[in-house]
């Protein structure tokens, strides 16, 4: 009697920004105290989101869960290497999941990304305050994405969430590749004050 | 001093992770050399973090949390940061070119022009190659079937878009035609990602194209 959905498990309602302070504290507890409960909380927050995006990339349910699990396992292993330089907690987790996805789903090397992590970036104050600030920046970006035009939101989503190359977005949406790129540039311009923290 | 950077939409694709390996490598090599783009990628990565953060979740199956905690017990491998060796080669490129630029076995591709393909993962459709243009020589005018990313590793060249010197990147859309000329003094060596065969304009060169494998 119910119509079939893409996944057997119904999606949960969208969540608002995650609490910036809490996330910073959780990651710090994992890094310094090897606190398993803190990791479990990060799991509760991020695993369902990671599973959702992996499903969109074409993974089946078991593989999507595995990749979500594996992402959190990398968080556990690398927490001591995390700093505000790696971005907000959600940004760092996004990049870990992206690299795993390139390895597993695209079957390509993620080394260009991994090797880049070794490049030392001029660092400002490394402490927890800076992480909270990064989290707040990303919260503002999350909200700002929702104020983009529908067209701009679509290309941002298709690219960042659905993992679709620009040329394929052009085919899917039925617009020239140049238009995909100009919509992304416009989206960037709109998000720029938040992305560059100019507020 | 790096003056030419990738388009912001290319940095967005890099952060999103949708670039084919050759393009991702050209961008990461440039980023390793370019502080402005290190900051640029930190910004475009924020879009990824925001997109993940705003995503509605799909419930994990029962027991997934316990399985993760069990996995932590089985695995207490802590990742140790490996020291980066001092080398002239930017870090991401070293894996693809472990013996440096001087050890390359070039393949002549016409007067003053030589190329060398670099291996990428199986199944990758686009191509990663090195291109060497002798000092003062010109590359025949060509256009591209798809996006072309060119990173200058040594020397410089000039075309209608300007002068591109070491560390600079040329980010060309499909259908762009240009005719780079290497600056005098030093051979110009570039790392190039292309997703289709270069399309030379001159009929003679088009005839030679299959011979040269370009
Ligand atoms: Zn740059």
The pLDDT score that the predictor gives to residue B46 is: 96
Provide the mean pLDDT of chain A. 87
Contact state of B47 with A47 under an 8 Å Cβ cutoff: no
Q: Is the pLDDT of residue B208 over 70?
A: no
The span from the CA of B136 to the CA of B134, in Å, is 6
- Tens of pLDDT, residue by residue over B82-110, are 655 556 788 899 989 988 888 899 999 88
- Output phi, psi for A96, to 5 deg: -65, -45
| Within a domain: B23 | no
CATH number at residue B136: 2.60.120.10
- What's the Rg (C-alpha) of chain B? 21
| Within a domain: B186 | yes
Question: CATH 1.10.10.10 spans which residues of chain A?
Answer: 147-194
- From chain A, the residues in CB contact with B37 under 8 A are none
The structure's pTM equals 0.89
A37 to chain B, closest Cα gap in Å: 9
| Within a domain: B85 | no
A101 at interface of B, judged by CB pairs closer than 8 A: yes
Question: How many domains does chain B fold into?
Answer: 1
Q: Is the pLDDT of residue A121 over 90?
A: no
Q: Which of residues 179-198 of A touch B (CB under 8 A)?
A: 180-182, 184-185, 188, 191, 195-196
- Output phi, psi for B128, to 5 deg: -115, 125
How many interface pairs between A and B have CB atoms less than 8 angstroms apart?
A: 245
| Within a domain: B39 | no
| Within a domain: B159 | yes
- From chain B, the residues in CB contact with A184 under 8 A are 8-9, 12
| Chain A, nearest residue to B31 by Cα | A116
Nearest by CB to residue A65, choosing from B48, B60, B95, is B60
**ipTM metric:** 0.89
A25 to chain B, closest Cα gap in Å: 17
**Span B167-192, mean pLDDT?**
89
| Within a domain: B62 | no
Question: CATH 1.10.1740.10 spans which residues of chain A?
Answer: 1-112
| Within a domain: B189 | yes
- From chain A, the residues in CB contact with B69 under 8 A are 36, 39-40
Q: Which of residues 18-57 of A touch B (CB under 8 A)?
A: 18, 36, 39-40, 43-44, 46-53, 55
Closest to B195 measured CA to CA, from B37, B28, B24, B7: B24
Query: Range of B161's domain?
Result: 101-212
| Chain B, nearest residue to A180 by Cα | B9
CA dihedral A75, A78, A81, A85 (to 10 degrees): -40
| Within a domain: B53 | no
- B22 vs B144 pLDDT, higher one: B22
Pick the CATH number of A1-112 from 3.40.1160.10, 3.40.50.620, 1.10.1740.10, 3.90.79.10: 1.10.1740.10
A112 to chain B, closest Cα gap in Å: 5
Query: How long is chain A?
Result: 199
CATH code for the structural domain at A147-194: 1.10.10.10
- From chain A, the residues in CB contact with B12 under 8 A are 159-160, 184, 188
Contact state of A91 with B65 under an 8 Å Cβ cutoff: no
Q: Other C-beta atoms within 10 Å of B111: how many?
A: 9
Strand partners, B143: B199
- Tens of pLDDT, residue by residue over B145-169, are 678 899 999 999 999 899 999 999 9
Quote the DSSP letter at residue B58: B
- Tens of pLDDT, residue by residue over A139-177, are 999 999 999 999 999 999 999 999 999 999 999 999 999
- From chain B, the residues in CB contact with A52 under 8 A are 55-58
Strand partners, B178: B142
């Amino acid at each position: 009697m119910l119509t079939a959905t893409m996944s057997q498990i119904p999606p949960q309602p969208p969540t608002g920004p995650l609490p910036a302070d809490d996330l910073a504290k959780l990651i710090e507890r994992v890094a310094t105290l090897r606190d398993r409960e803190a990791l479990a909380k990060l799991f509760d927050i991020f695993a369902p989101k990671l599973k959702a995006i992996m499903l969109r990339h074409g993974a089946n349910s078991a593989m999507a869960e595995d990749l979500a699990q594996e992402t959190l396992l990398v968080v556990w292993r690398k927490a001591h290497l995390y700093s505000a330089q790696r971005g907000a907690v959600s940004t760092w987790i996004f990049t870990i999941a992206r690299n795993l996805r390139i390895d597993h789903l695209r079957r390509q090397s993620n080394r260009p990304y991994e090797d880049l992590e070794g490049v030392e970036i001029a660092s400002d104050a490394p402490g927890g305050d800076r992480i909270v600030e990064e989290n707040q920046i990303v919260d503002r970006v999350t909200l700002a994405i929702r104020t983009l035009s529908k067209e701009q939101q679509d290309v941002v989503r298709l690219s960042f969430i659905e993992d679709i190359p620009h040329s394929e977005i052009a085919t899917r949406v039925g617009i020239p590749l140049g238009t995909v790129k100009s919509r992304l540039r416009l989206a960037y311009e709109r998000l720029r004050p938040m992305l560059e923290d100019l507020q | 001093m790096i003056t030419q950077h990738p388009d912001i939409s290319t940095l967005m694709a890099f952060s999103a992770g949708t670039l084919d390996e050759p393009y991702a490598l050209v961008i990461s090599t440039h980023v390793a050399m370019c502080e402005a783009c290190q900051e640029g990628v930190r910004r475009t990565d924020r879009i990824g973090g925001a997109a993940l953060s705003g995503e509605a979740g799909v419930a994990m199956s029962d027991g997934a949390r316990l399985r993760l905690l069990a996995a932590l017990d089985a695995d207490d491998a802590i990742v140790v940061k490996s020291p980066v060796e001092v080398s002239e080669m930017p870090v991401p490129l070293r894996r693809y070119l472990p013996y440096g630029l001087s050890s390359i076995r070039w393949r002549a591709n016409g007067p003053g022009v030589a190329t060398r393909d670099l291996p990428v993962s199986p199944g990758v459709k686009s191509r990663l190659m090195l291109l060497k243009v002798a000092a003062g020589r010109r590359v025949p005018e060509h256009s591209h079937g798809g996006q072309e990313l060119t990173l200058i590793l040594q020397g410089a060249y000039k075309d209608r878009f300007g002068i591109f010197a070491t560390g600079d990147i040329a980010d060309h859309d499909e259908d762009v035609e240009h005719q780079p000329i290497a600056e005098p003094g030093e051979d110009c060596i570039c790392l190039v990602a292309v997703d289709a065969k270069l399309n030379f304009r001159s009929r003679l060169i088009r005839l030679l194209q299959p011979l040269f494998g370009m």
